[in-house]
Amino acid sequence: MRPALRTVVIACVVGLTSLAGSTRAVAVPVVPNGGLAGNGTVTVQATADGRLMVTAWSAPVTGRVAVVVSNGTNRTVRVQRVDATATNADGSGTSRASSGSVVPSVLRPGQWGIGAVRFRQSTVGADDGLAFKVRARRARSGDPVPLAAGSFTLSPPHEGPVAQTLAFVVSNGSRRLVVQPYRTSAVCLDEAGRLTTESGAVVRRPRTLAADATAPASIGFPTLCPVYVVGAEATRGR
């Protein structure tokens, strides 16, 4: 059973305000939103001004919880990590997990990043309460560069550990050269726009992308993923 939306306390660093999240669910179109693209609409909790917070999350799937981080502040930030705490339904125990970051990790005001936190599978259940802490700092000139994703082609269903594969193209819309690795992340959505799972992949060819250049990419999903949202980013070249 999917956990109900609830108020979640979000703590942010670098002077960002620590406040409780709203519980009003609203559907927010993905495109255009910080380089995220896809064929669906994500249902998130309303984001108030002044907060950097997790605004949507999935039920745990083999210990992974997909998340959307929204930047409701007036600053451009670099998300460094998302920490999560799961509390048993009866309050008898807790477990913790974290993500390396989200994609894209540099968020201007109003933009989103997507990713997942990873619990040990046996430590989190579908009925556990989830709380999140987003760790971030002010963005710097050497931070990763968001890439645009498009030209999506979803494969027919497969047998085996990869149920479906999404092929797409990433492009460098900045004025600067970027270099591999190119990080990609995708979240799958149900018919109501709620997150169900997250998958990611790293692209290492070509070694560099000049301004307006493109590169092929693909992500494999462990379950069928007819509705998806994708993000990508690359390291800034010197």
Cβ–Cβ under 8 Å, residues 237 and 209: no
pLDDT at 28: 53
pLDDT at 35: 73
More confident residue, 85 or 9: 85
CA distance 30 to 227: 12
More confident residue, 238 or 27: 238
Angle in degrees, CA 11, 20, 87, rounded to 5:
75
pLDDT at 182: 96
Average pLDDT rounded to a whole number, residues 24-33 = 50
Average pLDDT rounded to a whole number, residues 98-105 = 90
Task: For the beta carbon of residue 204, count every other beta carbon within 10 angstroms.
Answer: 9
Q: Kindly list the distances between the CA atom of residue 161 and the CA atoms of 165, 174, 203, in Å, as whole numbers in the listed order.
A: 11, 36, 20
Domains of the chain, earliest start first: 9-138 (no CATH), 145-236 (2.60.40)
What token pair was written down for 94? 């807790």
Instruction: Please name the residue that has the structure tokens 């149900």.
Output: 190
Residue 99 neighbours by CB under 8 Å, 6+ apart: 67, 81, 82, 115, 116, 117, 118
Bridge partners (DSSP) listed for residue 216: 169
**Mean pLDDT computed over every residue of the chain:** 85
CA distance 164 to 204: 21
CA distance 163 to 160: 6
Residue 18 has pLDDT above 80, yes or no: no
5 pLDDT band, cuts 50/70/90, is: very low
Average pLDDT rounded to a whole number, residues 63-84 = 94
pLDDT at 26: 52
pLDDT at 155: 98
Average pLDDT rounded to a whole number, residues 96-112 = 91
Angle in degrees, CA 18, 66, 128, rounded to 5:
75
Instruction: Please name the residue that has the structure tokens 């894209």.
Output: 104
16 pLDDT band, cuts 50/70/90, is: very low
pLDDT in tens, 184-212: 999 999 999 999 999 999 999 999 999 99
- Least reliable range by pLDDT among 15-19, 28-32, 82-86, 144-148: 15-19
Instruction: Please name the residue that has the structure tokens 């002010």.
Output: 138
